[in-house]
Structure 1
Amino acid sequence: MTHPKLPVLLIVLLLIPSSLLGQVFSKVGVVDFERAVVESTEGKKSSVKFNAKLEERQKEVEKRQKELEEAQNKLRTQERVLSDAAKADLQRDIDRRQTELTRVNEDAQKELGALRDELLRPVTDLASRILKAYASDQGYTIIIDVSNPGNNVIWANPAGDITTELIRRIDAEIAKLPPRGK
């Protein structure tokens, strides 16, 4: 014969762990970390510098692309009148220009990636420190970065989005720092 209070006691014991789990994960925040970095005052300044370099490199690539296209057009339009030796020279010139264009593109990508990292690293590091302090101070148990499409966040309530607050705090911290050399 079982005790009449035993089933009630078992139910209460089963409910306790789930209520404790609810308390452990009670405050979840979301942040668009990339947006916080690039929309901060310092992030915007870095973007201006980056975009200036990007335009410079794009002009160089476009110039080389145009030179390559001109050489290709010359070969197409003059193919019938050029000697075999002249055609071979022009084809070598086209091949050389194509190789140079590929290298310039690759170099530009590497340079721009390194420049972006260099410009945004200080802001990213500061944003990370501020976010950790903010999450701790506000009692968050987890912060999810929604700027990374690989994190499988399907939906997040905008009420839990702390991105704007993070931007405000980044700007406030940067304002306290001494001006950097330009």
Structure 2
Amino acid sequence: MNRNLTLLTALAAALVSPLAIVPAAVAQAAPAAAAAPVAMPAQIALIAFEQAVFACNEGQVAAQGVQKKYEPKKAQIETLATEVDSLKKQLQAAPATLSDEERASRLRAIDTKEKQLNRDAEDAQTAYNTDLQEALGKVAQKLSVSMKNYSQSHGFTLLLDVSAQGSNVLWALPSTEITQAVVDDYNKTSGIAAPAPAAPSAARPRTTAPAAKPAAK
């Protein structure tokens, strides 16, 4: 699991893994004090919660919004990277008659700009990841409520999150995996349309989303 999405993982673990759901009919039918435990047949479902957060329309809109915010910073970093590369090429192409003093001066200039480039890139990546995590965390909170409602309305008694790489689910029938169904249901209730495809960008700051992990089958 990617270290930069611990917020989503913690939220999924707290709200989803595992999520015991007691049908309302059973709770209402049981007498207050003298009720004997009622054995309920298990109805288990699986969900890749992190994948659902990124896949729903609202999650995609949130991610694109963060990417758009950092486009100017990305352009600045690209410009500085081009400048550093140009200085290196100029030094490589310099004649052998270049004095040691001039060579050392150019090396210092390259080193200074390269350190600035690395610092700016790291700062931008950290800020980008923080904003992305915050934006998707808000989506995750709302999606978790919709997910529970969906599970209850479909009679599931146990919902397991299989987002983590170390999931203990080794095999399950494909019909028990409800990630897309929950995403579709949330898209309907949220009223948010799918965003237009983002324009290709050569060096967009990388997201730290975990690779999509299919549910165990």
After TM superposition, the score normalised by the length of structure 1 is 0.71
1:104 aligns with 2:146: no
CA distance in 1, matches of 2:172, 2:63: 27
Q: What is the aligned partner in structure 2 of residue 70 from structure 1?
A: 86
**How many residues align structurally?**
154
SS across alignment from 1:150: coil
Superposed, which structure 2 residues align to 1:122-161 within 5 Å? 122-161=138-177
Distance 1:56 1:151, change over 3 A: farther
> Which consecutive unaligned segments of at least 5 residues does structure 1 have?
1-22, 177-182
Name the counterpart of 2:178: 162
Deviation at 1:93, TM superposition (A): 0.7
Question: After the TM superposition, which parts of structure 1 deviate over 6 Å for at least 4 consecutive aligned residues?
Answer: none
Partners of 2:42 and 2:158 within 8 A in 1: no
Report the RMSD for the aligned CA atoms in angstroms.
2.5
Distance 1:156 1:50, change over 3 A: farther
Opposite residue 175 of structure 2, the aligned amino acid is: A
User: Mind listing any 5+ residue stretches in structure 2 that lack a counterpart?
Assistant: 1-38, 193-217
Look up the SS of the partner of 2:93 in the other structure. Answer: helix
Q: Residue by residue, what CA displacement relative to the aligned partner does 1:99-127 show, whole Å, maximum 9, x if unpaired? A: 11111121121111112122212211001
Give the Cα separation in 2 of the matches to 1:61 and 1:125: 33
Contact 2:50 2:163 in 1 (8 A): yes
The 1-side partners of 2:95 and 2:152 are apart by 72
Higher helix share: 1
- Contact between 1:79 and 1:87, CA under 8 Å: does it hold in 2? no
**Kindly tell me: are residues 60 and 25 of structure 1, through their superposed partners in 2, closer, same or farther at Cα, counting changes over 3 Å?**
farther
Distance 1:154 1:54, change over 3 A: farther
Q: Compute the displacement of 1:156 (Å).
A: 3.2
Q: Alpha-carbon deviation of 1:169? A: 3.0
Q: Structure 1 residue aligned with 2:107, among 76, 80, 91?
A: 91
- The equivalent residue for 2:188 is 172
Per the alignment, in what secondary structure is the counterpart of residue 30 of structure 1?
strand
Change (3 A) 1:87 1:79: farther
Aligned residue number for residue 14 of structure 1: none
Calculate the TM-score normalised by the size of structure 2: 0.61
